[in-house]
Amino acid sequence: MEIKDLGEFGLINQLTKNIKPINPSTIKGVGDDAAVLQYNKKEVLVSSQIFMEGVQFDLTYIDMEHLAYKTAMIVMSNIFAMNGHPRQIIVSLGLSKRFKVEDIELFYTGLKKACEKWSVDIVGGDTTSSYTGLAINLTCIGEAQKEDIVYRSGAQETDLICVSGDLGSAYMGLQILEREKTVYYQQIEEYNNKVKDAQRTNDKARLEALRKERSSFDDFQPDFAGKEYLIDRQLKPEARGDILQLLKEANIHPTSMIDISDGLASEIKHICENSHCGCRIYEKNIPIDYQTAATCEEFNMNLTTAALNGGEDYELLFTVPIGDHEKIDKIDGIRQIGYITKESLGAYLITRDGNEFEIQAQGWALNRN
């Protein structure tokens, strides 16, 4: 169905009619000029992020449902990175004409799945047209007790630097997706050349054979064998709210925290700058999945670079007092990768062979274009 057949208000009504807020902080969700929230004595956390087609996502790889799920996880991850709980989400969409009502419904399906996972209410939606690609903006609102909030600025000398999960896998997932896209387009180009040849020589039997071959492209199956984890990390990341729960249960209060969207290097630099400190990261301690390692080798890429600068990990990077060393050790899925130093000592990676390299921050979004 075309969006114009429903109209702007019809579309918004259709998408939001079954949305029922579940959080006590949601007083009024979709349907007025603004959402109305009540946070009482808690502090309100707000984070907003824009995603542009061709820059942050490529609809050749990712469908609308996964895209919504992923972008929602990304903004929720920002709230978790403050040691807060996401409670509401507001979505803005700029849609070019090629999008049908069904596409937007799929987007909302993915958005609802992400929101259900963390009991988040969809409290607003703005939909407009776009002359070109798809633009998505998500605003996530969350809450935390004042004393629970963890900023980027609280790291202290001797603190341990910890990271959840593993790094570089989403980036290697992207490399595989890009390779398969290239293979797909090469096959199409070869096919088109064969058709042109057959047309030039007016070879009807050949053209008929090629016509039959055509359908195989619609069934193109990218080769993801042995890379499933990497593809999953790229297309369906999970915000690490579970890590906050583990830390709480272990009675650990991080001194600083950030989520890894632009890569470990960039994020640890943010912590160092905001906390006015330096750091040492041990290359050997950076958690890497075996699929990531194997794929780096296959692509002849540097594994540590993928882990440091790949980005899109959406893992939590945080610091804890050195006294929490043993408590952290007992938690599965958290790795101690280094320690905080005086600011004057700078931010360095200690390689496996004992050399020190200065860590360079690298922004993600703007560098891709």
Binding residues: 33, 47-48, 108, 125-126, 152, 259, 261-262, 312, 364
Type of residue at 181: K
Number of C-beta neighbours around residue 1 at 10 A: 12
For residues 100 and 194, which CB has a smaller minimum distance to its own copies in the complex? 100
- Residues belonging to the binding site for substrate are 312, 364
Q: What is the DSSP letter of 284?
A: G
For residues 62 and 198, which CB has a smaller minimum distance to its own copies in the complex? 62
Q: 139, 119, 110, 113: which is closest to 34 by C-alpha?
A: 139
| C-alpha span between 290 and 66 (Å, rounded) | 24
- Residues belonging to the binding site for Mg(2+) are 33, 47-48, 126, 259, 262
For residues 262 and 289, which CB has a smaller minimum distance to its own copies in the complex? 262
For residues 298 and 343, which CB has a smaller minimum distance to its own copies in the complex? 343
Minimum distance of its own copies from residue 56's CB (angstroms) = 7
Minimum distance of its own copies from residue 127's CB (angstroms) = 7
Q: What is the DSSP letter of 193?
A: H
For residues 48 and 193, which CB has a smaller minimum distance to its own copies in the complex? 48
| C-alpha span between 106 and 121 (Å, rounded) | 18
Minimum distance of its own copies from residue 79's CB (angstroms) = 6
- Residues belonging to the binding site for ATP are 108, 125-126, 152, 261
User: Looking up tokens 């999008």, which residue turns up?
Assistant: 99
Minimum distance of its own copies from residue 125's CB (angstroms) = 9
Buried b (16+ CB within 10 A) or exposed e, 84-102: bbbbbbbbbbbbeeebebe
Minimum distance of its own copies from residue 303's CB (angstroms) = 25
CA dihedral 122→125→129→133, nearest 10 degrees, is: -30
Rg (CA), the chain: 23
Q: What is the DSSP letter of 159?
A: P
